[in-house]
Each structure stands twice: as structure tokens, then as C-alpha cells.
Chains A and B, each alone.
Chain A
Amino acid sequence: MAVTTKVVQRPDPGRTSYLRAALKGMSLTLRHMVNPKTVTQQYPEEQTELSPRWRGTHRMEVHSDGRPKCVACGLCPTVCPANCIRLVGGEDDQGNRYPIVYEIDEFRCIFCGMCQEVCPVEAIHVGRDFENAEYSRDRFVYDLDRLMEVDHPVALLWDPEDPKSE
């Protein structure tokens, strides 16, 4: 791509006036000072509407009887580029696989959403939520119980048919 440069001509020294330019600037700032319109968002009270594809804090979907939907197939720890998912699978007497340990380290997570994309049973999701501040670092490793109890909306996957999520 061609890069074009434009040389801006300096004004002729005899035609500039610092004082008048300063006064002009001050009238501009005064207009902004008295203008009640602001761009500030009063955050905790006013929330931004998150995009439907926003990828934030994880959430594990549950069955109606409270069991996690996860079948411990091991795809998400495999696909995870940040290696932040720890999964130990087990099998109950009916032969259903379930996760014994399922932990996500939110510090390591890069919120790519590939775990959600790869999940065959739509169990793990990234959520439309970002308010995950904690008082201690070890609270950032989310175990299965915590992943199941959060209830924020989950992210929509990108649909190639509808690339702009309309």
C-alpha cells in the first residue's frame, strides 16, 4: 500500500498571533466547560450493553436435576490454547461420564471461546459478563460448583451464515 505524506505548511510568522490564538482556544474550552453534555458513563449505575458475542467469565450449563452437562470428553482442555482448563473425568454405574474435577483458571484464560466452540454437548460456555473481581488470587480458579452457580447470559457463537450476528 502506498504511504502518502502531506507536508503541512507552517503559517507565515507575520500572520500568527499567539494571544489571539490563545483567546480563541480559551473560548473553545469555555464552550465545552459550560456544555452539560458529557461522554462519561457512570459505570456501576449505567452499564454498557454487551455484544451478544461478548466472551467473558465462564459458565457451565446444568441439567434440570442439577448435574453438569459436561461429559468429560476432554476436548476443551485439549483445544485450550492457554492450557487453563483442568479436567479429571469419571464414570458412574450407568456408564455416564462426568467431571470429577473441572477447574478453569481465569487468570490464564485468554477468553478465546474455543472451549465453548469445541464442546459437543454445549456444556461449557463463555459468558456475557466481566465483573469478576476478587479479593484474593486463588479465588480466580473457578471450580465446577462455581461454574455451575453463575447465571449470566452466555455468549453466542459466531455463525458463518450471519457474520455480523444480526
Chain B
Amino acid sequence: MDVLQPISGIPLLVTTSIKIATMFGVVMLTVAYTTLAERRVSAFIQDRLGPNRVGPFGLLQPIADGLKNLVKEEALPDSASRLYFLLGPMMAMVPALVTFAVVPFAAPLPTPWGVVDMIIADVPIGVLYILALSSLGVYGIVIAGWASNNKYAFLGALRASAQMVSYEVALGLSLIVVLMVAGNVTLTEIVWQQQQLDLWYALPLSLGFLLFVTSAFAETNRLPFDMPEAESELITGFHTEYSAMKFSMFFIAEYSHMLTASALMATLFFGGWDLPGTWDDAFWYDGALIKGFDESGVAIAATPAIWKTLLTFGAFAGKTAFFLLLYIWVRWTLPRFRYDQVMQLGWKVLLPTGLAYVMVIASTMLVLDQIGVPYGFTYGLGLTAVSTVCTVAFVFFLDRGRIIRGAAPRKVKPLVESTVT
């Protein structure tokens, strides 16, 4: 059984390099095509056609856009702080890309040299690494807004930082429930625990999922939370002064943030690359690749295969694509929140709800552990029941006019018809 050894030595170096290059390519390509999808889906929603001229169905449009941005003139405002002005786009783009390193994207791949994990870097601090780096992205926005020396850009940057601070808390709280149930912060183990539960966390932790999606929308500065850009109020906010490739880099940063957030939603709450059934389960346990335990607690060896890797990668891509579509779909449906509504939602709704939900899930887990329910499908059903009650309460009672409403509740006058001549 020496085939099922993890890959090491020179082959590890080679496969990791290949993985990095491939993932970078795939991420950049996905980002490019997400911009096309954004334009076409928005067009479909508005009963238009969208860009369909460059190539079949407009498929070459992102390439045309990229070339255009490469050859356009780069404007550097006179009053801008040169160093930081150049630093901004880089600071925005790099964190958005590196977070993808810890997301597992397929079942392990067997090769003649050993089993290759389909993750670039399985760092032991997984989720913490993502939280740390994804919020670094706001530095790019703040630096860009400040360095532009433009009032609108500066306002955008301020809003971005305030929003990021507010929603980082809610995001962290919605993740705590996942980490509590999974018992670990590495994303590979979170996927494994979902396979063990025979249930993806979206059901047992439904309210957590709702809170996570909301905070992730705020973190990626997408509508209805696009305070830093707010075209109708701030021109385009922090990147008002940017042109050509530097503008393009902000664009890439925004979309790779979206991609990372979608991949995270898929991984944390929809089982990552997992497909229903135990045939594809695989996890490194005590140096052996296992797919589960039998009744007596003995590990069953996993059977990785190339077709399983490909199929699970397809599953991961599909789930991520769905959440990307959700991002676009929500953007073209909901109007932008007002600034005070954003703050109110973050601090007065998501934070207390998240805290209360953590308490509820913690007590449920305690009760389930005390009455001796093993971690498995029944355990998941117990959590699902409690979470469903929480979600229904949140949607049907807490949401009654409390989540988003006008700045000050005003006395409503009865319907009057005044006549001005």
C-alpha cells in the first residue's frame, strides 16, 4: 500500500508548482469570465443581450477588455501620493489571490509518486489565514483612496474601512459555529467533518450560513453593500482616479475576492468538493488516507482515483459557480443600502444574532454530547432542527421591519391629496 503515501521530495515540489501555476491560471481565467458573466447576466435580468459581439456569445470579450486596459494611458494625478497610489492596486489584488491557497478544490489525486492533495497549501490555521488575509484587502482600498487625494475617493476609503471593521466581527461569529462543529480550522478537515456528518453544514448551521453570506457580501464590497464604490454617490469611490491597468487590477481584486468568498461558502457550508455518498471521501488520518471508520472504530482506507478527483473538482467548481451567480444575481436585484443602514445591520442585527446563535449551537452541542449522540447523521439532524427554528425565528420575527428600515421611524400621515395650482 505504498501508493497511498503522501507525495514528498522532488515530486512534491513539482506537483506544488504545477498546482500553483494551474490555480493561478484558473483563478485569473475565472475572474475574467466572471466579469463577462456579470455583464451578460445583468443584461438577461434587464431583458437585454449583453456583450455578444467579440467571439461566439461574446466569449472573447474579457480578452478584448484586458488588451484595451493594457494599452490605455495610465493617468497619475498630479496631487496624488505617487508611491501609495501605485501600491494601492497591488495591495488590493495580492490578498484576494493568495487566500485561494488554502481552499481544497478536489479529492486527493493518486500518482505513481504518491497521493497529491488537491490544495496548494494545507496550512494548519486554514480559516484564520483566510480571515487575516482577506481583511488585508481593505488596506489596498484605503491606501488607494487616501493616495488619490480626491474627496470622493477618500470618502469611499473611509466607508470601506468602517464597513470592513463592522462586518469582520459578524463574519468571524458566523464562522465560529462552523469551527465548533468541525472542531478544527483547516479547510480540509472542515470538508472531512462534513463528509463524516453525511450532511453539509448549510442545513445544520443554516442561520450561520445566512449570516456568513451577508457578511461575505459586505466583505467583498458587493451590492447591496458597495459603500466604497457607490457610483451614484461617490463617482466610483476609491478607484475614481485610477485608469487603465491599475483600474483593471482593482477590478480583478474585486472579482477574485468574490471568487474566494464563493469558494469559502462552498467549502464551509456546502461540503467543498464533496459529493453525496461516501465513495469520494478521503482524509489523512494518522498518516493514512481513510474514507471513514467502521462500527468498531477501525479506519477504512480510501480509494482515490483520477476520475474521482475530476468529478469532485467538477462539484467544487459547480458550487463555486453557483455562489458567483448568486453574487451577480443579488447585485442586479437589490438596491444599495444607506450608510447608516449598513452600520445598523452590522452592529445591531448581525453581531447580536451571531452571538446568540453561537450560544444556541454551543448548548445544542453540549446537550447532544451529554445524551451521547455520536458525531454523525443523527447529530446533524439535531443541529438542523435547532438551526431551522433559529432561522425561521430570524426570518419571520426578527426581520419584521427591524433589519433594514428608514433612518428614523416617522409618523405616517393618512393619505392626502393636495392640489397646487
Q: Which residues of A does B touch, CB under 8 Å?
A: 2-7, 9-10, 12-20, 22, 25-26, 28-30, 32-35, 37-40, 42
User: B415 to chain A: which residues have CB within 8 Å?
Assistant: 6-7, 9
**B405→A13 contact, CB < 8 A:** yes
Within 8 A of A (CB), among B29-72: 41, 43-49
Instruction: Provide the B389-401 mask, 1 if CB < 8 A to any CB of A, else 0.
Output: 0000001100111
Q: Which residue of B lies closest to A32 (CB)?
A: B45
Contact of A4 among B46, B333, B410, B419 (CB under 8 A): B419
Q: How far is the CA of A4 from the CA of B415 in the complex (A)?
A: 13
Q: A17-B400, A17-B401 are in contact. Are A5 and B333 (CB under 8 A)?
A: no
**A10→B410 contact, CB < 8 A:** yes
Q: A15-B401, A22-B333 are in contact. Are A38 and B48 (CB under 8 A)?
A: yes
User: B395 to chain A: which residues have CB within 8 Å?
Assistant: 17, 19-20
Contact of B420 among A5, A14, A15, A34 (CB under 8 A): A5
Instruction: Provide the B306-334 mask, 1 if CB < 8 A to any CB of A, else 0.
Output: 00000000000000000000000110111
User: A15 to chain B: which residues have CB within 8 Å?
Assistant: 400-401
Contact of B334 among A4, A6, A22 (CB under 8 A): A22
Q: How far is the CA of A4 from the CA of B406 in the complex (A)?
A: 25
User: B46 to chain A: which residues have CB within 8 Å?
Assistant: 32
**B47→A35 contact, CB < 8 A:** yes
**A3→B419 contact, CB < 8 A:** yes
14 more A-B contacts (CB under 8 A) besides A2-B419, A32-B45? A3-B420, A4-B417, A4-B419, A7-B413, A13-B401, A15-B400, A17-B400, A20-B395, A25-B333, A30-B329, A32-B44, A33-B41, A38-B43, A40-B43
Give the distance to chain B from A67, nearest Cβ to Cβ, in Å.
44
Q: How far is the CA of A32 from the CA of B332 in the complex (A)?
A: 11
Q: Which residue of A lies closest to B419 (CB)?
A: A2
Q: How far is the CA of A14 from the CA of B396 in the complex (A)?
A: 11
Give the distance to chain A from B212, nearest Cβ to Cβ, in Å.
15
Q: A5-B420, A7-B413 are in contact. Are A17 and B45 (CB under 8 A)?
A: no
Give the distance to chain A from B330, nearest Cβ to Cβ, in Å.
7
Q: How far is the CA of A19 from the CA of B401 in the complex (A)?
A: 10
B interface, how many residues as a size bin? 35 or more
Within 8 A of A (CB), among B193-246: none
Q: How far is the CA of A34 from the CA of B49 in the complex (A)?
A: 12
**A39→B403 contact, CB < 8 A:** no
User: B370 to chain A: which residues have CB within 8 Å?
Assistant: none
Instruction: Provide the B372-410 mask, 1 if CB < 8 A to any CB of A, else 0.
Output: 000000000000000000000001100111111110011
Q: Does B421 make an interface contact (CB < 8 A)?
A: yes
Tell me which of A4, A33, A37 has the highest count of chain B C-beta atoms within 10 A of its own C-beta: A33
Tell me which of B333, B399, B412, B417 has the highest count of chain A C-beta atoms within 10 A of its own C-beta: B333
User: B47 to chain A: which residues have CB within 8 Å?
Assistant: 32, 35, 37-40
Q: A10-B412, A16-B401 are in contact. Are A5 and B330 (CB under 8 A)?
A: no
Q: How far is the CA of A30 from the CA of B330 in the complex (A)?
A: 10
Q: A26-B333, A32-B47, A35-B47 are in contact. Are A14 and B412 (CB under 8 A)?
A: no
Q: How far is the CA of A4 from the CA of B404 in the complex (A)?
A: 31
User: B396 to chain A: which residues have CB within 8 Å?
Assistant: 17
Give the distance to chain A from B353, nearest Cβ to Cβ, in Å.
12
**B403→A18 contact, CB < 8 A:** yes
Q: How far is the CA of A40 from the CA of B49 in the complex (A)?
A: 6
Sample (20) of A-B pairs whose CB atoms are under 8 Å apart: A2-B420, A4-B417, A4-B418, A5-B420, A9-B415, A10-B412, A12-B412, A13-B405, A17-B399, A17-B401, A17-B403, A25-B333, A28-B333, A29-B332, A29-B333, A37-B47, A38-B44, A39-B47, A39-B48, A40-B47
List 6 A-B pairs, minimum CB-CB distance, nearest first: A13-B401, A40-B49, A18-B404, A18-B403, A29-B333, A17-B399
Q: Which residue of A lies closest to B416 (CB)?
A: A7
**B330→A26 contact, CB < 8 A:** yes
Q: How far is the CA of A26 from the CA of B417 in the complex (A)?
A: 34
**A10→B406 contact, CB < 8 A:** yes
Give the distance to chain A from B343, nearest Cβ to Cβ, in Å.
15
Give the distance to chain B from A31, nearest Cβ to Cβ, in Å.
9
Q: Which residue of A lies closest to B414 (CB)?
A: A9
Q: How far is the CA of A78 from the CA of B264 in the complex (A)?
A: 73
User: B406 to chain A: which residues have CB within 8 Å?
Assistant: 10
**B49→A38 contact, CB < 8 A:** yes
Tell me which of A4, A16, A37 has the highest count of chain B C-beta atoms within 10 A of its own C-beta: A16
Give the distance to chain A from B203, nearest Cβ to Cβ, in Å.
18
User: A10 to chain B: which residues have CB within 8 Å?
Assistant: 406, 410, 412
